[in-house]
Amino acid sequence: MHLRLIGCLAVVAIASVVDAYVTVDSAILQGQFIVKLDCTTNMDAYFVKLQESQARVLEASQSINVLPVINVTQQYNIGDFLGFAVKAHSVEVLKTVLQEHDEVVAIESDVSLQFIFNKAVELSAKEISESSKKSSKKSSKKSSKKRHRRSSPIPAPIAVTTQMNSLWNLARISERQLNVKQPEYIYYSNGGSGVTIYILDDGIDIYHNDFGGRAKWGYSVYYSTPNSGTGHGTLVAGIAAGNTVGVAKKANLVAVQVLDQTGHGTISGMIAGLTWIIQHARPGCAVINISIGVPSSYAGISFFNDAVSAAVALGFSVFVSAGDSAANACRAVPSGNPNVFTVAGTDITDKPDPNSNFGPCVSMYAPGVNIVSDWIATNNAQAMISGTSYAVPHASGVAALFLAQGSYSPFNLYNIMRKQGTPNVLQHIPSNTPNLMLYNRLS
């Protein structure tokens, strides 16, 4: 068997780039690898075989300095994407153990990623209080008929609620024309109830009052107890489903922490987080939000891209940020993946954020400049932030609103969201990029 190794094996620092309002510094992790297996592999039988192979190689080894020992640290089983993360002294040691394993498709070096997020501006208690007083809800029911889950893209009239004096970004996605003088957020009264949004990020402050007990701790690559990280994931979660600042106000949230509290992560950890979601979520009732991205040139990132595609093939809708390099979104992962819904950012004047990525891989625009969301300083804190990281949770929230009305496959959901989007209202959109604004109701 010929084992294919992709990427350099030395520890190399790679130049910083801006992506999803994140500065990414990467370094290949010496002695840490990701192994991709053929999609027909029986995982249980394979790991028995792996143990037997290692035992034989150990027994035959004449070296006392470098024993051919490998340690499997993670297992991946996402539909057609099968594999594992492993620690070994070197790739030569790993190849020795795997030399007769026809199940192995390729080996990648694992990569360390350091994300440095755009700084949020915390709002004062007075600003939060004034905002809360202005924002109120008034129910305006259009139908009292009991709703049943259905596959039709155009449901019967559904009860809606109006949040008066809402944040501008919420009002924008519920109106066909820009109206910043009297912002009102009109949304389905069931608010995404029964749908869970999984936030693949650096954690969520699940105790924040704006989540009203709907946020749960799911999985962490790093910690055994809930940890809100840098606050990036909390901001994202608030926009998706916060009671005051969010789109889908009754959807559930689950924190899937793949970055630590300093913003550090690995490609193997990102795949592990996605694996956990697939093992615990239900297709058709789940939305996956990924507000982090990595240039497609990075070693190992193709495996994460493959894992995302496999998740979509299983029926999971994946929403991702376009990135903030003012560049082609197709050049990053997962924004360049044709199986996801990629969201770019606009400002309060319906112009694109100058930092937002663009191009044919963008599915749609959503508000992404000066967005107010929930923050980690206290259980009532809010902050203002910009970036496509915060545009995409608007779309994830809308996806939850739609899934609460009917059962859709990922591509049906993507197509319906494009169809319902507001066309040709945005200004100065780059060429080869759709002029389409997110809209939160079915027509």
| pLDDT tens digit sequence for 105-139 | 999 999 999 998 888 999 987 777 776 666 666 55
Specify the fold of 121-437: Rossmann fold (3.40.50)
- Set 174, 189, 389, 396: catalytic member: 389
Among candidate residues 228, 232, 321, 374, the one labeled active-site is 232
373-422 pLDDT, tens per residue? 999 999 999 999 999 999 999 999 999 999 999 999 999 999 999 999 99
Q: How many CB atoms lie within 10 A of CB 137?
A: 15
Cβ density class 141-174: b for 16+ within 10 Å, e for less: eeeeeeeeeeeebebeebebbbbeebbbbbbbbb
Coil, strand or helix: which one is 234? helix
Question: Which residue numbers in the chain have pLDDT < 50?
Answer: 1-22, 64, 142-152
Please tell me the distance from the alpha carbon of residue 394 to that of residue 273, in angstroms, as a whole number: 22
193, amino acid identity: S
**Spatial separation of the C-alpha atoms in residues 338 and 58, rounded to whole Å:** 44
The answer to whether 80 is a known catalytic residue is no
pTM higher than 0.75: yes
Q: In the annotation, is 208 catalytic?
A: no
Q: Are 228 and 259 in contact (CB under 8 A)?
A: no
Check if CATH label 3.60.15.10 holds for domain 5-117. Answer: no
Give the pLDDT score at 117.
87
Q: Which two tokens stand for residue 119?
A: 């700084």
Gap between the terminal Cα atoms of the chain: 56
Distances (CA, A) of 154 to 145, 187, 251, 283, 300: 15, 16, 21, 21, 41
What CA–CA distance (Å, rounded) separates 35 from 276? Answer: 18
pLDDT at 35 (0 to 100): 98
Tokens of 316: 């999971």
Structural domain boundaries of the chain?
5-117, 121-437
Check 110, 201, 260, 350 and give the catalytic one.
201
CB 39 within 8 A of CB 77: no
Decide: 72 and 47 in contact? Cβ < 8 Å. yes
Exposed, middle or buried: residue 59 (CB in 10 Å: 0-12, 13-18, 19+)? Answer: exposed
Specify whether 25 is catalytic: no
Instruction: Tell me which residue has tokens 């759709």.
Output: 434
Question: With b meaning 16 or more CB within 10 Å and e meaning fewer, what string describes 372-396?
Answer: bbbbbeeeebbbbbbbbbbbbbbbb
Sign, CA torsion 136/138/144/149: negative
